[in-house]
Structure 1
Amino acid sequence: MSHPPAAGTRVPWHEVHPEVRAAVEEFLGGRVVEASTQPGGFSPAAAVRLRTEGGRRAFVKAVGPEPNPDTPGIYRSELKIAAALPASVPAPRLLTGFELAGWVVLVFEDIEGGRHPELPWRRDELDRVLEAVESMSAALTPSPIDAPRIEEVFGPKFDGWRKLTKEDPDGLDPWALRHLAELAELESGWVAAAAGDSLVHADLRADNILLTDDRVYIVDWPWACLGPPWFDRMGMLISVGMQGGPPPHELFTDPDQAVTAVLAALTGFFVRQSRQPDPPGIPTVREFQRAHGVIALDWLRRRTGWS
C-alpha cells in the first residue's frame, strides 16, 4: 500500500537570503562548495547538508517570512530547545543559531552516514528505533530542561472532535459520526490524561529519525514539551502503521484510559485538520494528516470498544 510522504516544498540553498548564506559561510570558516537539499518534513524552508572548500560539513535549516508566516515561529521554538538539549539526548548538536534579515537559521553538526529508516518500515529498524525511544524517554524523565507543558503546545489544536460537533459532518467516518458526542467528551479530558514531567519530542516519525550503523538520532525538536513518558511511542506508532509497519494496537497494549483520552485528542486533530484547506506553502500536509487519521481512528475504535 502506498503512503503519502512527509514532504513539503524545500527552498534550495541558492535561494536563501544572501546575507544568511554569507553569515553561515563566515561561521563555518569557508566558502560553501556543495549544498545538498534533504527531503522529508513539511516546512517550506531550506534543509541542506553543506560542505565548505576546507572540507567542513554542517546541516543547516533556514526559513524566511515567506510563504508560510507560522514557520519562523516554529524554528524559533526549535532553536530554543536545540540550544538547551543536554549531550545525553540522541540528537545532532546545535553549532549555532541566529536571526538575520527576517530569517531564522539553525546550524547543526552533520551526521555522517545518517539516513532515514527505510519505508515501508523494516522490523529490525523499527525495533532499533523503539528501543532508542524507550531509552530516550527514560533519560528525559524528569525533563532536564525547561520546556512548555503539553497543553500549552497542543491545547489550541487538540479539540478537533469538539469543533466537529459544530461543523458540517459531511464525509466523516460513519463510526466517528455515530459517536461524535462521546468522542468530544473523551477528548475533553486529554489535558489531565497527558500530565507528566517527561520531555517529549511530540512529533516522532520516520522523517525525524536518522540511523547510522551504530546509533539512532532524533531530529527536529520544535514541538518538544512536558508530557507523559508514553506520548512519543503512542504518536510514532500511528505513523509507523501508516507507513507500512505493524498496526499500533499490536505494539502498544497498555490499557490505561489516559492513553485512550490522549489518543482521542490526537485522532480528532488528524481527522479535523485533514478536512481544512491547505496551509500556505505546505500543499502535502492534509493528505498526510488524512492517512494518519485513518490509522488513529481504527486504533481508537479498538481501544474504546464502542460498536
Structure 2
Amino acid sequence: MAVHGSGRRMPWGEVPPSLRAAVDDLLGSPVVDAVSQPAGFSPGSADRVTTADGTRAFVKTASTAVNAQSVELHRLEGTIAGAMPDGMPVPAVRGVVDRGDWIAVVFDDVEGRHPHTPWRPDELGAVLDALAELTAAPAPPELGALLGSASDALDDNLRSWERLAADPSRLPSLAPDDHEWVTARIDDLAAAATTAIGEVGGDRLVHLDVRADNLLVTPSGAVALVDWPWAALGASWLDALVLLVNVRLYDPGADVEALLRGHPVFAGLDDGVANRLLVGLTGYFLEASTGPEVPEIPNLRKFQLDQGLVSLALLRERLP
C-alpha cells in the first residue's frame, strides 16, 4: 500500500532530550520504543511509542526552527482534538507539551493502518459511512465554539481562479487540450469558485483535509480520522466530496458518479454545487503547485499538482 506523497519525518532520536523527557512524564513511564509513521507532510516527528510499563501512544512533534507553521498547526490540533466529545472517531488527546519553539502532542494510539490504495470499496464505504455519521447532526456546541466557518477557511483557496484569470501565465504546465479548455473558460471558472465560498458553510464538523494518509482503519473495520488542525464548521457533504479527489488520485477509473448518486452522505448535494466546489479545488491545487518549493516538505508541490490534474480531469467529465 502506497500513500501518495510525504514529507521528511524527523526520527524520535532527533527530538530534543528535554522534550522527550517531558513526554515520558506526561505518559508516566519512559518511552522505550518509537516507530516512525512515514505518511503525511508534517516535517516534524510522528511516532507510535511504547513506554517501559507497556503504555502505547502516538506522539507528534514540531519545531519552529524547522517549520514554524507546523508548530502552530500542532497547537491548533491539540486544542481542537482535545475538545472532541467522547465517542467521536478521533484519537483522544492525552496531553500537550508546548515549549514555544518546540511542541509535542500526545494521543491515544489507534491500532490501525491507512486505507489500501487504490481504495477498496469496503474501506471507502466505511470512511463515507463515518463521515455521514460525523455530520448527521450539528457539531457539539463546546466544539463548535472553537471553530470558524469553512467558508472563511476556504475563502482564499477558492479565489485561486480569480488570481489565475488575472495572470494566466501563472498556470502550471498542462497538456495542450487541458490548457485550451481552462483558458477558454477561465473567467467562468473564477466566478464558479467564488460562488462556492458561500456554499461550503454550515453547522457540521468538517475536517477539511480528508485523504488516505489522514485516516486509519482498525482491525474491526472502524475508521478514525487524524490530523485536525484545519477543522471548521461546514456543509455535511464537504469532506466526502473532497475525498473523492483522493479516490481518483489512486484509481483514475473509480466510478465517482456512482458514489455521488448512491451514498447517503451526498444526499441533498446539488450537482451545480458539487461542480463549483470541484472547480474551486482544481484552481487551488493548480495554483498552489506553482509556489516555491518547501525544502522540509520536498514532495508537497508535486502532490498538489497531481491532485490538481485529477480534479481537472474529474471536472471535465462533469462539465461540457
In the superposition, the TM-score normalised over structure 1's length comes to 0.92
In 1: Cα distance, 2:87 partner to 2:284 partner: 32
Would you say 1:171 and 2:173 are equivalent positions?
yes
Provide, for residues 11-37 of structure 1, a one-character-per-residue CA deviation record: whole Å limited to 9, x for no partner.
111111221101001111222110100
2:148 equivalent in structure 1 = 148
Q: State whether residues 4 and 287 of structure 1, in contact with CA within 8 Å, keep that contact through their aligned partners in structure 2.
A: no
Distance (whole Å) between structure 1 residues aligned to residue 308 and residue 5 of structure 2: 15
Shift in Å, 1:143 = 4.6
Count how many residue pairs are aligned between Structure 1 and Structure 2.
302
Match in the other structure for 2:247: 240
Contact 1:48 1:61 (8 Å CA) reproduced: yes
Q: 1:146-203 CA distances to partner (integer Å, 9 max, x unpaired)?
A: 2111133222322111111123146243211221111011111122111211110111
Q: CA deviation at 1:94?
A: 0.6
Runs of 4+ in structure 1 displaced over 4 angstroms? none
Q: CA RMSD in A?
A: 1.9
User: How high is the sequence identity, in percent, across the aligned residues?
Assistant: 37
Return the alpha-carbon distance in structure 2 between the equivalents of residues 76 and 27 of structure 1: 17
How far apart are residue 65 of structure 1 and its match?
A: 0.7
Structure 2 counterpart of 1:300, one-letter code: L
What residue in structure 2 maps to residue 226 of structure 1?
233
More helix by share: 2
Structure 2 gaps, min length 5: 262-268
Q: How does 1:147-296 map to 2 (within 5 A)?
A: 147-167=147-167, 168=169, 169=171, 171-172=173-174, 173-174=178-179, 175-214=181-220, 215-244=222-251, 246-253=254-261, 254-296=269-311
Q: Which amino acid aligns with 1:302?
A: E
Corresponding residue SS for 2:151: helix
Give the CA deviation at 1:104. Answer: 1.8
Contact 1:62 1:106 in 2 (8 A): yes
Following TM superposition, by how much is the alpha carbon of 1:3 offset from its aligned partner in structure 2, in angstroms? 7.8
> How far does residue 262 in structure 1 lie from its aligned partner after superposition?
2.0
Query: 1:120, 1:21 → 2: CA distance?
Result: 36
1:47-126 counterparts in 2 under 5 A?
47-100=46-99, 102-112=101-111, 114-126=112-124
Shift of 1:247: 4.4
Q: TM-score, normalised by structure 2?
A: 0.89
Which runs of 5 or more structure 1 residues have no equivalent in the other structure? Answer: none
Question: Which amino acid is the alignment partner of residue 171 of structure 1?
Answer: S
